[in-house]
Amino acid sequence: LAAQSSVADSARAPFETWNSNFFGSCNLARSLARHAPAASFIFASSADVYGRAFGSGDVTEDTPAQPLNAYGRSKLAAERMLADLLPRASRLIVMRPTNHTGPGHDERFALPSFAAQIARIEAGLAPPTLRIGNLDVARDFLDVDDVVDAYLAVIGAGEALPLRATYNIGSGRPIVLRALLDKMRAQARVPVEVKVDPARYRDADFPRTCVIANRLSQATGWSPRRSLDGTIARMLDFWRERCRGDAAGR
């Protein structure tokens, strides 16, 4: 799981991204090959490896990877490196999760940024204006707990899985970011205005992502169970608790 996971940061710091995502994985693979050659290795890659392919519609594991940024390219390169470096007797399971979020998610990402800003407004720590970037993209979002369940499902399946396999983790139901912000504003305890901030606006590499995870469901029985309304409520509560401490310390 260890990685530099921000697409925006991968553009600003490509060396650090490759150093973590590729060379860090390479060092781990070398150690496993030496000390635990029969181990199972579950690699958390990313649906971002599909890149340009999202422009043609829904993606499955058979969709050719066409990454568009340093993050996606470093993840795809790590996938291929692991297949070469790990012994053939080891089990390599590559997981490609879609966007996922939840309490504790870093503010560099859209939904936790919205939640943190709303919580600060509610606590009187910020003016009642929520600054946003591009809301016109549709993304296949999951609750982080559903993604963890997918990893656990693969671990539980164990030797029933092939020695080499790749599985998407996604809902297959994209939702426009503006709709998720509307859900969050509906749960806010005070009125919140929205203002486009040029510093936060980023043209999307692709306007819509949809990740099909039928292969994972068939292999393990996994499917997403959490509602995004619940995810948003838990994120807001996380940031409210944090802001409560900030307000008390003023």
% pLDDT > 90, the chain: 87
Does pLDDT of 130 surpass 90?
yes
Per-residue pLDDT tens digits for 8-61: 889 999 999 999 999 999 999 999 999 999 999 999 999 999 999 999 999 999
Question: Of residues 247 and 92, which shows the higher confidence score?
Answer: 92
Does the pLDDT value for residue 249 go beyond 70? no
| Torsion sign across C-alpha atoms 81, 147, 132, 104 | negative
Per-residue pLDDT averaged across 196-221, rounded?
88
CA torsion sign for 234, 46, 173, 9 is positive
Task: Write out pLDDT tens, residues 66-109.
Answer: 999 999 999 999 999 999 999 988 999 999 999 999 999 999 89
pLDDT value at position 179?
96
Q: What is the pLDDT of residue 206?
A: 82
Question: Would you say residue 200 has pLDDT above 90?
Answer: no
% of the chain surpassing 70 pLDDT: 97
Length of the chain equals 250
Longest dimension (CA), the chain: 58
Contact, 169 vs 61, CB < 8 A?
no
| pTM for this entry | 0.93
**pLDDT confidence band for 182 (50 / 70 / 90):** very high
- Can you give the pLDDT at residue 245? 75
Q: How confident is the model at residue 250 (pLDDT cuts 50, 70, 90)?
A: low
Nearest-CA neighbor of 45 among 21, 69, 20, 11?
21
pLDDT at 113: 95
Mean pLDDT of the chain: 94
